[in-house]
């Protein structure tokens, strides 16, 4: 097969280049299969974390644990391959997405190699850190090729905003669950913690669940600050991008106003003709 730009880029040359190509590619069948597989494993990885917070039979809990270890192993291999195939390995290792990839699997692999599932389930730090695996979803929205280029840019921006909200809720719920599950009778599973975070961060505050630990109170405070700062920041970026896309980058020669509607023929400030002059300069 001849590799062309239409197939996703130039032909990979050498093992490192081929590894990098397929990890970044969204157009070839192999690249798409890798993307779909990683996205599905991310969903399953998060689902396993949530399921483990509910009452389960020993057999089911064991099966979920082995599933978690297997997925963590796949992601560990992906992490190593990304470093191996990267043109600049230091830049790749310090990239926020790559750091999250590593942090998301360290607790599981540590438990599997040194502690065992029973111990890991009761170690608050390891249990809390595992929740960051949801941040891996940001990797799939880092460029406009998300879902193989079938998602419009404006839609992708909206997806990122929605993902930011969901990540705040999810991470906050995971941390709150880890802090409160052993002392708070209102927190029996992840669903209870998620319900609390939604109510708390939306400032509804029913009062049926309240933090019982200092860590739980600080998680709530951090969640509120994150919602106040990150959501408006992300929303402002989306609105700014949408606004920029809907204006013509042309300056009125009479009053100097820059930025006009795409279908504007006159300056909206002074009424001077701008469209015809803009076209005649091309």
Residue 135 in tokens: 């941040």
pLDDT at 191: 92
Q: How far apart are CA 158 and CA 225, in angstroms?
A: 21
75-89, 183-197, 244-258: which range is least confident on average? 244-258
Question: What residue ranges in the chain does DSSP mark as E strands?
Answer: 247-251, 258-261
When comparing pLDDT for 255 and 188, which is higher?
188
Q: Is the pLDDT of residue 63 over 50?
A: yes
pLDDT at 116: 56
- Each residue's pLDDT tens digit, 133-173: 777 776 666 655 555 555 666 676 777 778 888 888 888 88
Please give the C-alpha separations between residue 220 and each of 8, 34, 134, 146, 235, in angstroms, as whole numbers.
Answer: 45, 37, 18, 32, 22
Quick check: 261 and 253 in contact, CB under 8 A?
Answer: no
Q: How far apart are CA 58 and CA 76, in angstroms?
A: 27
- Each residue's pLDDT tens digit, 1-44: 334 433 445 546 678 888 888 887 777 788 778 888 888 888 89
pLDDT at 7: 42
55-59, 90-94, 108-112, 183-187: which range is least confident on average? 108-112
DSSP secondary structure of 138-169: GGGGSSTTGGGGTS-HHHHHHHHHHHHHHHHH
Phi, psi (degrees; rounded to nearest 5) at 166: -65, -35
């Amino acid at each position: 097969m001849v590799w062309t730009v239409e197939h996703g880029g130039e032909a990979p040359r050498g093992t490192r280049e081929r590894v990098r190509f397929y990890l970044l590619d969204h157009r070839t069948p192999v690249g798409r299969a890798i993307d779909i597989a990683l996205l599905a494993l991310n969903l399953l990885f998060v689902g396993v974390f949530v399921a483990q917070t509910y009452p389960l039979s020993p057999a089911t809990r064991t099966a979920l644990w082995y599933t978690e270890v297997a997925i963590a192993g796949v992601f560990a291999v992906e992490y190593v391959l990304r470093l191996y195939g990267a043109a600049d390995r230091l830049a790749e290792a310090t990239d926020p997405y790559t750091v999250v990839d590593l942090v998301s699997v360290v607790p599981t692999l540590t438990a599997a190699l040194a502690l065992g599932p029973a111990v890991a389930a009761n170690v608050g730090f390891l249990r809390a850190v595992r929740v960051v695996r949801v941040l891996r979803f940001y990797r799939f929205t880092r460029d406009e090729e998300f879902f193989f280029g079938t998602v419009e840019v404006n839609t992708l921006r909206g997806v990122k905003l929605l993902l930011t909200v969901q990540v705040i809720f999810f991470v906050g719920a995971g941390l709150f669950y880890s802090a409160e599950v052993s002392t708070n009778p209102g927190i029996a599973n992840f669903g209870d913690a998620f319900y609390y975070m939604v109510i708390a961060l939306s400032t509804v505050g029913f009062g049926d669940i309240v933090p019982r630990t200092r860590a739980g109170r600080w998680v709530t405070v951090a969640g509120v600050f994150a919602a106040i700062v990150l959501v408006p920041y992300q929303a402002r970026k989306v609105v700014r991008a949408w606004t920029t896309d809907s204006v013509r980058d042309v300056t009125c020669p009479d009053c100097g106003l820059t930025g006009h509607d795409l279908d504007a023929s006159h300056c909206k400030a002074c009424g001077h003709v701008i469209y015809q002059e803009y076209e005649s300069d091309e």
